[in-house]
Structure 1
């Protein structure tokens, strides 16, 4: 398995350049095609329902501004990929909202790369990564808003970019709760896990779910990974408890603390959705990780 089509969301956020560098290095490693997408934010349903009249001069000026901003977000994409040695790529400006538009394109991709929602936008746009996760059917690699491009990347004769790229996956923390979402995330992460120098399977509160984890928690998932050429180790931990209750946000915080303590540069997490409402589209653990992440997180739903 390899990532042969990589989608990257481009906007005017400070860390957008880091997404392009990551997409470039993954493309070189997997001989992949990269699709760079910028969106105007105008819902496609307005066009489908004929609610938008582009001949209206006021609306036309507004749409022109939105499209110019999207084009500006794409401005450095092609030159940067060419300079890095990526041969196969395309760029698109879409008239759509970010979540809905990216979800459509991602249905024909192996991996989507997006950025963490900026802290001052979480009240209104927190559903963006959630929407791509739940509506695209594609694994999503979320980069933290602290990610920055780290200089130019030199490309070897073999077509592999130098370690100067912000490529995660040398030391990976796999959040394992034996759910189908976690299993899906691990499968989708296998191309990265095979290249990792160290993989840690983190299991929280295993004693509370003996039917899920058995007598030796983590043994089955470690054996499964081993058959794919991934050497993994298990770490058991407990999340904070208040009386008889464990708060999902504290489980997420415990996972983030484990990743920081071990110096991990990537987390693999199954996204659990339990509500049709956008505001609660993700489970509490997933939302806590997305809000507090300082390392990239690969998620699947």
Structure 2
């Protein structure tokens, strides 16, 4: 079994490694620590800048910008190597097997490529450029979650012991997958599970709740229907129940509906300071 842990220079890097270590320890998995040096259109940038000077200086400016670009590339590689080495040492100290992967390219494309041979992806809630944006969800994180076919664990800023988890259940295929995983995986063997269906007391919701309770069995400490808007209900319940993690299906509605009315998945990732384990 393999876990992909995606790290960068953000304040989430350590947390991503710690969350990956927690998963790997319980599932006897290997962690592949992935660092991606993103592509930059350096040629276009040089052309844009050089067009603002006279012809006599253009050649010299192009050469200088090329040297700067090469120096930045070397620095990015060195920084990535340091991050990967530190992650390996931290995983070794946690008793977890690990390997590293250093790539150039697009983050989303690389993660999707690497997850083909993996079972779960761990990624930070925000990237290096958004560390101090409160309530912000990195755009690349959302795109990874939307495109990944494997479970994605979106790590919070810091890791804490997972003793209690909230399952946000709507009866859909992806949330049923989340319930089945929580019911059978060694990852949640010693975790107290709370399950909430947000909405009205309808036959559909009662049947969904009954199915989930039966599947979870003794692992389920509480299962109930809570009236109200899904976003508000789930964010409030996560806080009130003292949850250490949220488990849910990801982006169950069509892209058009999400564009018009928003997404509970995105709202939860933005609204809680907890790790969120997502299933497609």
For normalisation by structure 1, the TM-score amounts to 0.73
- State the partner residue of 1:218: 209
Check the 8 A contact 2:135/2:271 in 1, yes or no: no
For these two proteins, the number of residue pairs brought into alignment is 252
- State the partner residue of 2:255: 275
**Aligned-pair CA distance for 1:72:** 3.0
In structure 2, the CA distance between the partners of 1:24 and 1:89, relative to structure 1 (3 Å rule), is same
Distance of 2:274 and 2:186 partners within structure 1: 15
**Which of the pair has more CA radius of gyration?**
2
The structure with the greater share of residues assigned to helix is: 2
Check the 8 A contact 1:172/1:266 in 2, yes or no: yes
In structure 2, the CA distance between the partners of 1:284 and 1:134, relative to structure 1 (3 Å rule), is closer
Check the 8 A contact 2:2/2:120 in 1, yes or no: yes
**Aligned-pair CA distance for 1:7:** 1.0
Cα deviation digits, residues 130-172 of structure 1 (max 9, x gap): 2222222110111123x15xxxxxxxxxxxxxxxxx342x211
- State the partner residue of 2:118: 109
Q: Gapped runs of 5+ residues in structure 1?
A: 47-55, 149-165, 241-250
Which of 60, 77, 87 aligns to 2:87? It is 77
- State the partner residue of 2:22: 25
1:12 partner SS: coil
- State the partner residue of 1:230: 219
Cα deviation digits, residues 75-94 of structure 1 (max 9, x gap): 301222222222x3111111
1:28 partner SS: helix
Distance of 1:89 and 1:99 partners within structure 2: 22
**Aligned-pair CA distance for 1:123:** 10
Matched, 1:5 2:5: no
Distance of 1:291 and 1:114 partners within structure 2: 14
Check the 8 A contact 2:178/2:249 in 1, yes or no: yes
Distance of 1:281 and 1:104 partners within structure 2: 30
Cα deviation digits, residues 153-205 of structure 1 (max 9, x gap): xxxxxxxxxxxxx342x211111110112112223444266424421110111
Distance of 2:144 and 2:188 partners within structure 1: 25
In structure 2, the CA distance between the partners of 1:18 and 1:261, relative to structure 1 (3 Å rule), is same
Check the 8 A contact 1:188/1:300 in 2, yes or no: no
Distance of 1:125 and 1:97 partners within structure 2: 18
Q: Gapped runs of 5+ residues in structure 2?
A: 44-65
For normalisation by structure 2, the TM-score amounts to 0.78
Cα-Cα RMSD: 3.0
